[in-house]
Structure 1
Amino acid sequence: MTDGGPTLLEPGGTNAVGQMLGLLGDEWSLLILGHSSRGLTRYGEFREVMPISNSVLTHRLTRLTEHGLLERRIYRTNPLRAEYLPTARSRTLWPMMLAIWEWERSWTGPAGEALPLRRHEACGAEFAPLLTCRACGVPVEARDVRAAWGPSGGWERSVPASSTRRRPDSVPNSLQYPQTLEIFGNRWSSALIGAAFRGMVRFSQFETALGAPPTLIAERLRSFCALGVLETRQHAHHPGRPEYHLTDKGRAFFPITALSVQWAQKWFVSPEGPALVQTHTACGHDFVAHLACDQCRQPLVTGSITIVPVIEDRTTPEGTP
């Protein structure tokens, strides 16, 4: 599949959210798409910047091509060489990628603080992306949005089967955006964070909704608590039964989930209707996520953002180690 329209889904099958989790809920695919957005196109280029095996890279490139996020184009026939170009489908992931950059920069300590800043060319200021409602322009947080399953919704249709398996140590922590990969770069993790935003707090709720093995749910909950996106609280009436609540850091992940769901429902269309219906409670309109510059409040558009070069600290006297 190359640049084209949305994928029409089969009635009763995996919905747009499930399709998105199956594609983006994989750490290697996210890394490939991130490098693709920065201009990498060739197999050797991906291998150079990622500690990935040939078989895994080939599989992921093939899968992303089959689902319309990359276009394979032959640029040499003898020997045969191909490059993988971004499509309209992958290029429209830039708001989600920008939200990932902001969350990592704000919430992951020294590693995030070391990320380069970005400048909004329209106002000339270094900025942070601000999640807003397109209908009324007001900044939005997770608590401001009411979500309900749509005609093609439901947990069973939103958690996909997957042909990829994730090993806990498969992506080194030295890579860019490691905490996002822990939360979103795995189909069960991304489904679990979505369930937390839907108000689930008890182990039994996560287990019933997601249909994942209890040991996997327990491992993911421990990981999320270690990352600081969830915290345990004791049940009010059952002290021995912990609940898992989003922290400020976890709630700040909402723009990433909102933008990924929005991307999914643009490119994977069910004849029954949307999988998830979201309403901005302040204005009553359907919530359409939109990023604005926090300095000038103007909408952010592709091409209006540049990376601010990192300037070496030159305050150390010459000759001092």
Structure 2
Amino acid sequence: MLIEVSVTVEPQLIRTCSIWRALEVVGDAPTVLVIEAIWLGTRRFDALRKRTGLLKALLSDRLKRLIANGMIEKCPSSDGGNRHEYVLTQKGRDLYWTSLMLLRWEQRWGAGRTKLRVELTHKSCGQVFEPEPACKACNQTIDATQVEWEPGPGVGLMEPVYSRRRQQRETTQDATTLFDEAARIIGDRWASLIMRSIFTNINRFDDIRRDTAIATNILAERLAWLTSIGVIRQEQYVDSPPRYEYRLRRKGVDYYPALLMLMMWGDKYFCSPAGPPVLLTHRDCGQRLEPQVVCSHCREPLEAHEVDFRLIEVAGAEDEKHAVSA
């Protein structure tokens, strides 16, 4: 006789996080490249395809997703006719500080495969500058090692819901992008969630797995990749059998502002009515951390309409450069 037994499996719950929710929208390398291209003034489909190097079907899919998520709008072309162009909504424009931090990291730490660099000028002070992450209270540059994390009023647990793994970026020789390695990190949701865990002092394999609900094989692969590109390092803490912790290298510490600005964006658009899931304190001044991006010259907060940029094409091994149209 067959006896039917009903087994209830409790869902795995993980802590809520605005970074997690933000990555559901932008945690995909093609999406990051499309947003970057629109920021640089590329708004028509064919021009977007050339700048990003994405295949036609992949670009079309990501544009549809961005429209559905309220990041961009499809509008009639400004010069009339039957053509259309894609423009950022306010929600999309609010990723400006995240984009500046990705740019800062790429120009400091990128592997040098990008075909473009950018020179930024702050119209308010007239100086060429580097964007700097700063504490609003003391206006000092933020360093990940000087930030404390604690649960916020919106902290809670949620069941992880993963969409299908993202496609990898397809490129052509004509692709021109400011982000390469930065896009591959923030555009890989698993890698970004691992970085989130390590930034909050979760350093061991099993602890990271519980914090992120990433499958064991994917977690092992991403940890190995982040180690290979110099973002994190392994430290053995048990001899037999060997057990390891994962610690940030300086390259990884300097990636923190990009995730910080992404968290702020996620807090604005995705956190619960109770408030943000995480609160930050800046140890240098002892105040609640409200991050902002400022001009390295005058230390004033940056707004997109106050910044001019000049694109510089890297010509190859000789690193010859010339201005190109944005």
TM exceeds 0.5? yes
Output the amino acid matched with 1:165: R
2:242 corresponds to: 240
2:188 corresponds to: 186
Distance in structure 2 (CA, Å) of the matches to 1:113 and 1:56:
22
Aligned partner of 1:139 among 141, 154, 159: 141
Aligned partner of 1:217 among 202, 216, 219: 219
Q: CA deviation at 1:170?
A: 4.5
1:88 corresponds to: 90
Q: CA deviation at 1:237?
A: 6.2
Q: 1:295 to 1:15 in 2, by over 3 A?
A: closer
Contact 2:116/2:312 (8 A) holds in 1: no
Output the amino acid matched with 2:290: V
Distance in structure 2 (CA, Å) of the matches to 1:26 and 1:241:
31
Report which stretch shifted further, 245-254 or 90-99.
90-99
2:131 corresponds to: 129
Q: 1:82 to 1:312 in 2, by over 3 A?
A: closer
| Matched residue count | 300
Contact 1:21/1:160 (8 A) holds in 2: no
Q: CA deviation at 1:277?
A: 1.6
Q: 1:170 to 1:148 in 2, by over 3 A?
A: farther
Per-residue Cα deviation, 1:81-109 (whole angstroms, up to 9, x for no partner): 54321101111111111111111111125
Aligned partner of 1:22 among 21, 24, 31: 24
Relative to its length, the structure with more strand (as a share) is 2
Report which stretch shifted further, 223-232 or 34-43.
34-43
Distance in structure 1 (CA, Å) of the matches to 2:29 and 2:166:
10
1:198 corresponds to: 200
Contact 2:121/2:129 (8 A) holds in 1: yes
Output the amino acid matched with 1:227: I
Q: 1:156 to 1:102 in 2, by over 3 A?
A: same
Q: 1:171 to 1:214 in 2, by over 3 A?
A: farther
The percentage of aligned residue pairs carrying the same residue is: 26
Contact 2:121/2:309 (8 A) holds in 1: yes
2:295 corresponds to: 293
Contact 1:156/1:210 (8 A) holds in 2: no
Per-residue Cα deviation, 1:284-317 (whole angstroms, up to 9, x for no partner): 3321111122223232222232224649999x9x
Matched ranges for 1:37-52 at <5 A: 37-52=39-54
Runs (5+) with no aligned partner, structure 2: 1-13, 321-326
> Which stretches of structure 1, 4 residues or longer, exceed 6 Å deviation after superposition?
311-314
Q: CA deviation at 1:73?
A: 2.6
Q: 1:93 to 1:206 in 2, by over 3 A?
A: same
Per-residue Cα deviation, 1:98-142 (whole angstroms, up to 9, x for no partner): 111111111125447962332223333322222111122222211
Runs (5+) with no aligned partner, structure 1: 1-11, 317-321
Distance in structure 2 (CA, Å) of the matches to 1:154 and 1:217:
23
Report which stretch shifted further, 249-258 or 263-272.
263-272
Report which stretch shifted further, 64-73 or 234-243.
234-243
Matched ranges for 1:81-120 at <5 A: 81-111=83-113, 115-120=117-122
Q: CA deviation at 1:227?
A: 0.9
SS in 2 for 1:117: strand
CA RMSD, aligned part only?
3.1
Aligned partner of 1:258 among 257, 260, 268: 260
Contact 2:15/2:158 (8 A) holds in 1: no
Contact 2:198/2:248 (8 A) holds in 1: yes
Output the amino acid matched with 1:162: S
Contact 1:14/1:160 (8 A) holds in 2: no
Contact 1:15/1:270 (8 A) holds in 2: no
SS in 2 for 1:303: helix
1:165 corresponds to: 166
Output the amino acid matched with 1:194: R
Output the amino acid matched with 2:220: A
Output the amino acid matched with 1:232: Q
Per-residue Cα deviation, 1:121-169 (whole angstroms, up to 9, x for no partner): 3333322222111122222211221112324335746x552245234x6
**Normalising to structure 1: TM-score of the pair?**
0.82
